[in-house]
Amino acid sequence: MIDIQDLHFAYKKKKVFTGLNLSLQPGHIYGLLGKNGTGKSTLLRNIAGLLFPDQGKVKVLNYNPGQRNPGFLQELFLVPEEFYLPNVTIEKFVACNASFYPKFDHNQFNAYLKEFEIPADNKLQQMSYGQKKKALISFGLACNTSLLLMDEPTNGLDIMSKSQFRKVIAGAIDENKCIIICTHQVKDMESLIDRITVIDEGKILFDQTVDRITSKLSFKISFDSAEIKQALYREESLKGSAIITNNTEDEEGKLDLEMLYKAIVTNGDAIRSVFQ
């Protein structure tokens, strides 16, 4: 679905990517993780055809995104972190925009609004930032595009809204759809994504499925000083030490995405060596 080869991109003299390679397939919810300013949003915009590579190739759904082909545009929706919505009712917004997406489902859209508790007769500019974001997410999901890109979608959402978000996204994925969620709020995505890609300083530090991660690594609390000393990563907690170790017992445990992310950023070589 997405094939990126030797991507080079820079803003004037600031290099972002120098030879990035990445392949993403349908049927997955990808978590694109990293600190602010590491290139996550830039990568999404290269995929969407809003930015253009200085060198290398980006192929999405067998299209060159930069050509902005209508067949490509109707199969992609981007929920950006920063956005502007006109001062019209939700109904008017849908009437003006839904026709660009042949698979848009009005019943589905209304169901998402109900799930997010957004009144359908509201004017968009009279809503809070969080409500606007939930309305835009609902629209993007109802477009039923093959590719859905989301940049920091949980920013501005309260605790209940984040729970609602995870519920609707989990129910939206199918074998023909690819969802990419770009975020630095890793805890919000823990139970949702099934493949993790970590970007730092324009490079991919880590790219593995959640199933493979939990088969190779064990996340636990330990009081054993020898085990703690040998851990791939450790941090103090109120109850013992939280550690990441090799999963020698072949027991599939629960992923601690926040701890994994910190381990990759601070001790990436040790973590990556487990998967070689």
Going from N- to C-terminal start, the domains of the chain cover: 2-201, 211-273
**pLDDT band, residue 189 (cuts 50/70/90):** confident
Residue 142 CB neighbour total at 10 angstroms = 24
CATH class label, 2-201: alpha beta
Q: What is the mean pLDDT of the chain?
A: 92
Could you report the per-residue pLDDT of 21-57, keeping only the tens digit for each?
Answer: 999 999 999 999 988 778 899 999 999 999 999 999 9
Q: For the full predicted model, state whether its pTM sits above 0.85.
A: yes
Pairwise CA distance, residues 86 & 124, whole Å: 7
Contact 87, 96 (CB under 8 A): no
Could you report the per-residue pLDDT of 88-134, keeping only the tens digit for each?
Answer: 999 999 999 999 999 999 999 999 999 999 988 889 999 999 999 99
Question: Distance between the two ends of the chain, CA-based, in angstroms?
Answer: 25
